[in-house]
């Protein structure tokens, strides 16, 4: 099973709202990733967690706050977003050693009004 699940599928939020995106995998992967994808563009890496510790932050604005509560779960907390943050937010996971396949979830389509 190579499934990564994400909730919600769609999210509409105002610029003053606080919301969270959730991601879950049960493949025993110890690396988890958040990507942002705009229309007709490739995924753009935001954060990487390795063994539940933040290992890469690609200079993402502080209005995006990641959290990895355990090895299966990854959250992205959103606060005071801008309309230009509207995008497809993708979660992915992989092994840390050995094979390097990264498996993506279906994404959360976020619209900021």
Partner 1 sequence: QQQVKQSPQSLIVQKGGISIINCAYENTAFDYFPWYQQFPGKGPALLIAIRPDVSEKKEGRFTISFNKSAKQFSLHIMDSQPGDSATYFCAASMSGGAQKLVFGQGTRLTINP
Q: Which helix (H) or strand (E) holds 65?
A: strand 64-70
**Is residue 59 involved in binding partner 1 (CB under 8 A)?**
no
94, 107 Cβ separation under 8 angstroms: no
> Which token pair is 2?
């190579």
Q: Which of 52, 73, 51 is nearest to 6 (CA)?
A: 73
**Is residue 96 involved in binding partner 1 (CB under 8 A)?**
yes
**Is residue 105 involved in binding partner 1 (CB under 8 A)?**
yes
Minimum CB distance to partner 1, residue 35 (Å): 9
**Is residue 66 involved in binding partner 1 (CB under 8 A)?**
no
- Among residue numbers 15 through 34, which ones bind partner 1 (CB under 8 A)? 30-31, 33
């Amino acid at each position: 099973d190579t499934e990564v699940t994400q909730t919600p599928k769609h999210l509409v939020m105002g610029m003053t709202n606080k919301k969270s995106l959730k991601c879950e995998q049960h493949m025993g992967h110890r690396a988890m990733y958040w990507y942002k994808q705009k229309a007709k563009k490739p995924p753009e890496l935001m954060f990487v967690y390795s063994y539940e510790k933040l290992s890469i932050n690609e200079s993402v604005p502080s209005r995006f706050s990641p959290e990895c509560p355990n090895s299966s779960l990854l959250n992205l907390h959103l606060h005071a977003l801008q309309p230009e943050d509207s995008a497809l937010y993708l979660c992915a996971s992989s092994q840390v050693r050995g094979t390097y396949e990264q498996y993506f979830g279906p994404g959360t389509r976020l619209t900021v009004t």
